[in-house]
Amino acid sequence: MTTAQHILTGGTILTMDPAQPTAEAVALAEGRILAVGRQADILALAGPNTLREDLRGNTLLPGLIESHTHALWGACRDLYQVYVGYQASLSQLAQAIAARAATLAPGIWITGGPWRLDMQDSLPDTPRAWLDAIAPAHPVAIADTTQHAMWCNSVALAQAGLADGCAPIPGGVVGQEGPEGRLTGFLAEAACGPVRAQTRFTPAQLDAACAQAVRYFNSLGYTGFKEPSAQAEDLGAYARAYDRGALSLHAAAHIAAFSPLSGSTMPLAEIDALVARFGRTGLNLRFTKLFLDGVAPALTASFLAPYLPRPGYDPAHHSPDATLLLPPEQLNQLVTAHDAAGYTVKMHAVGDNAARRGLDAIAAARQANGPAGPRHEIAHSTFIDDADLPRFAALNAVAEVSPKLWMPNAATAAQRAVLGQARLSQVHRIRSLLQAGAEVIFGTDWPAAAPDANPWSGLAGMISRADPSGVFPGQVAPDQAISLAQALPLFTRNAARAMGLEGETGMLRAGLSADFIIVPGTLTEMSTADIAATLPVRTVFKGAAVFEG
């Protein structure tokens, strides 16, 4: 009989194991879970050197897994960019940009943000003119809250090779005005690509960002995450961290096979080469990413029904497929090919038509390759039509719900302005997806549309559909609220399975990796406000404490 090195008793233990949902004690040995069960049985595994720990009424549960977070991007935002938060005013944004310009030599890029859709009505002139007045000697590119659109000044546009009267960019929106096509400084989707190409971070910066992200995630209770859209430089940073022994998280990454920034698809041979170069035992790269549409506030999400009337948009001419970034035939071919090669495809889909087309592509792959292929994911699953709810289970597809917009927040008004209240009542249908038998996972999408990667406010929002901080009143689609017991698997065992780690983590079960967190108090008795304010007192990865609060 193996002797336990560490036994924990005296608290609430939530195992996430359907066969044994709760337990009185947990025993650990050699970085793995030795046993879970009744206190008397577990204490029988103790030896003279066993550490016996009293949880003092706190809650122990599996470490959380973040299924959609741009970890390096978010950490780079905090380390290197202007960031004013999602509730800042236009004047506060201007002050932050001016303050950064005062510290930099002329010609150095200023990036960050964010700006919101409602700010556009407050601009005294075009975004270009406004930024030119604030920082005329620096290239400035400020992203919106969704990270799908930008405001740029004249220097930034010039350095990106964009000039007045330039031709349209396929898959993108270039703001222009007047007969000469003067650039307004507004860019969206693929049109942001030339600017982003000018603002890449160095390997040293990415290494620092990776270290920052790992510390941040561990402090929130994460013991695993999936990067949803990785480039080669991102994969290099994660691989270097793993090789240094500094990646205290189970990690996986979806390689960006097509994005609006690239405008082209990455051949499978190139994807295979990246996997061979950067894949590690603890860094699973058998995942790819495709973008199907954009976001609702920019009118680039693909919906079955029209948007509300707006200047420059006529609902009478609405075409659901017009905003798709990949034609359905090409999408079907790509997903079928990736499926045959063993890659799990995550498809960005905000509009209900984009989600439908993504499910159609999974259906095409199942028909061509058989039903036993990878469990592909519809990312965000923001709007799902009734007819498509049961298709997730039928196709063995995964519904990823993100970002944290299932509760009122800074972006709610922008969504309501373009979609209307009736359609907003059908957003983030987590309850309906679960009732339809879909397997659902959680992601924040930090820092795109989510100001932080905090899972606890996201968990509280799922339960209440209200802003636990009280800053934004009301609820969003309150009939889609779910219980704590329904929500926790999205963060644990479902997420582990989506990472390819079923049988390794995501539950407290004998033989699995000792990945768990301890949170203060009894989680099952907390109010949603208390859940939102929760932070772990300890995060344990493979039996070692990686965060102590």
pLDDT at site 171: 82
Q: Which comes out higher in pLDDT, residue 215 or 120?
A: 215
**Phi, psi dihedral angles at 143 (to 5 degrees):** -90, 155
User: The whole model's pTM is what?
Assistant: 0.93
For residue 303, what pLDDT is reported?
98
The mean pLDDT value for 211-239 works out to: 98
Please give the average per-residue pLDDT across 210-229, as a whole number.
Answer: 98
Res 183: pLDDT: 97
pLDDT reading at 547 higher than 90 = yes
Q: What would the two tokens of residue 310 be?
A: 């707006």
Convert the pLDDT of each residue in 306-351 to its tens digit: 999 988 899 999 999 999 999 999 999 999 999 999 999 999 999 9
Give which of 227, 362, 231, 233 is closest to 292, Cα–Cα: 362
Q: Taking the CB of residue 484, how many other CB atoms lie within 10 A of it?
A: 17
Please say whether the beta carbons of 22 and 513 come within 8 A: no
pLDDT of 263 strictly over 90: no
Pairing of strands 377-380, 344-349: parallel
| pLDDT-derived band at 507, boundaries 50, 70, 90 | very high
- pLDDT, residue 360, reads 98
pLDDT band at 121 (very low <50, low <70, confident <90, very high): confident
Res 337: pLDDT: 98
> What is the rounded distance in angstroms from the CA atom of residue 97 to the CA atom of residue 131?
9
How much is the pLDDT for 118? 84
The per-residue pLDDT of the chain, averaged, comes to: 96
Q: To 10 degrees, what angle do helices 455-464 and 484-491 make?
A: 140
CA distances from 426 to 161, 196, 301, 304, 346 (A): 41, 33, 15, 13, 22
- DSSP string over 479-526: GG---HHHHHHHHTHHHHHHTT-TTTSSS--TTSB--EEEESS-GGG-
Q: Which residues pair with 37 in a beta bridge?
A: 25
All residues at 6 or more sequence positions from 175 whose CB lies less than 8 Å from its CB, including other chains? 126, 127, 183, 184, 185, 186, 187
The answer to whether the beta carbons of residues 254 and 288 sit under 8 Å apart is: yes
Q: Which pLDDT does position 450 carry in this prediction? A: 87
What separation, in Å, do the N-terminal and C-terminal C-alpha atoms of the chain show? 34
CA 442/CA 379 separation, integer angstroms: 10
> Tokens representing 105?
């030599």
* Across 437-446, average pLDDT: 97
Look at residue 364 in the predicted model and tell me its pLDDT.
Answer: 98
Q: Is the pLDDT of residue 117 over 90?
A: no
CB count within 10 Å of CB 55 equals 17
Mean pLDDT of 171-181: 92
The secondary element (H helix, E strand) that includes residue 275 is helix 268-278
- Tens of pLDDT along 466-501? 998 888 999 999 999 999 999 999 999 999 999 999
pLDDT surpassing 80 at residue 1: no
